[in-house]
Amino acid sequence: MTTTARILASGQGWQVADVVCTARAGDRPFEEEHRSFCVAAVTSGTFRYRTRQGTAVLSPGAILLGNPGACYECGHEHGAGDRCLSFHFAPNYMERVVADVPGARRLGFGAARLPPLPVLAPLLAEAEAARETDDGDAFEELSLRIAGAVVATASGSTKTDRAPSRRDQKRVAEAVRLIELNADRPLSLPELAGETATSPYHFLRTFRRVAGMTPYQFLLRTRLHRAAVRLRTSTEAISAIAFDAGFNDLSTFNRRFRREMGDAPGVYRARRAGRR
């Protein structure tokens, strides 16, 4: 086998994998079949992709597009190996995304790929960073955002979202309160959207526009803020503070705390106590 896939995260109707291919020039390509909608962001290497929508050479920053049931081949005549972040979506998942993207009408990709585009670059960088930092929790939102962005770009949609209504603002305020009350337990995007009676994609898009960040980012910052307060006001063990705040393991807490606060938890506590 020249290809290995490591599942990074998955949920209802979606999955993302880190796919590494070691094929070289001269290796014979073989035909495969997409089992679901595929949106694969190339992060390194170059390869040729052939499917019923056409043939394209993909390089870093490009996005491979695949429809369920479509056969395809990948070849490496131009270089050895590649690596992709491969997102897979069930048809009903994509149906809901298409229904919520302004101007999008068609379910299914009409092209084999999207070239590297500035409009998608920041989002793809977020996804690659989540892979490199092993931040699996971030992929629930990233998968939905990438699905929506790719559908909008592939369909040529140029419509912009309307300004959030007062009803949307009220829904986001309710979601913020729900996160604050339940920050110490897992909160999924579908659960938050369900509480506001909206689709996950519409909820995510509206929350970002109203709150200036995604629900996951708000949840993470809420947990880290509460942990920082307890580090400053108590002598409890750092592990106890981390678990009470909603983190599943100490290493993840330490990494994210340092990224957000600038110091490791122990150093942060010592500095604030005036011992350093």
Query: Is pLDDT above 50 for 276?
Result: no
| Average pLDDT in the chain | 90
Residue 84: strand, helix, or coil: strand
| Sign for the pseudo-dihedral over CA of 54, 60, 65, 66 | positive
Phi first, then psi: what are they for 56, rounded to 5°? -150, 150
Cα–Cα dist 16/86, whole Å: 5
Quote the pLDDT of residue 107.
86
Q: Among 73-77, 88-92, 158-162, 203-207, which stretch is predicted with the lowest mean pLDDT?
A: 158-162
Cα–Cα dist 260/108, whole Å: 39
Q: State the Cα angle at 96 between 117 and 220, rounded to 5°.
A: 70
pTM, rounded to two decimals: 0.85
Residue 154: strand, helix, or coil: helix
Quote the pLDDT of residue 26.
77
Integer angstrom CA distances of residue 194 from 43, 93, 202, 204? 34, 15, 11, 12
Is the separation of the CB atoms in 110 and 65 below 8 Å? no
**Which tens digits make up the pLDDT trace of 130-185?**
999 888 899 999 999 999 999 999 887 656 666 778 888 889 999 999 999 999 99
Query: Is pLDDT above 80 for 79?
Result: no
Q: Is 244 exposed, middle or buried (0-12, 13-18, 19+ CB in 10 A)?
A: middle
State the DSSP string of 24-83. Answer: -TTPPP--EE-SSEEEEEEEEE-EEEEETTEEEEE-TT-EEEE-TT-EEEEE-TTSS-EE
Count helices and strands in the chain by DSSP H and E runs: 10, 10
Quote the pLDDT of residue 274.
62
Query: Is pLDDT above 50 for 124?
Result: yes
**Which tens digits make up the pLDDT trace of 29-45?**
788 999 999 999 999 99
**Which tens digits make up the pLDDT trace of 14-34?**
999 999 999 887 788 788 999
Query: Is pLDDT above 80 for 273?
Result: no
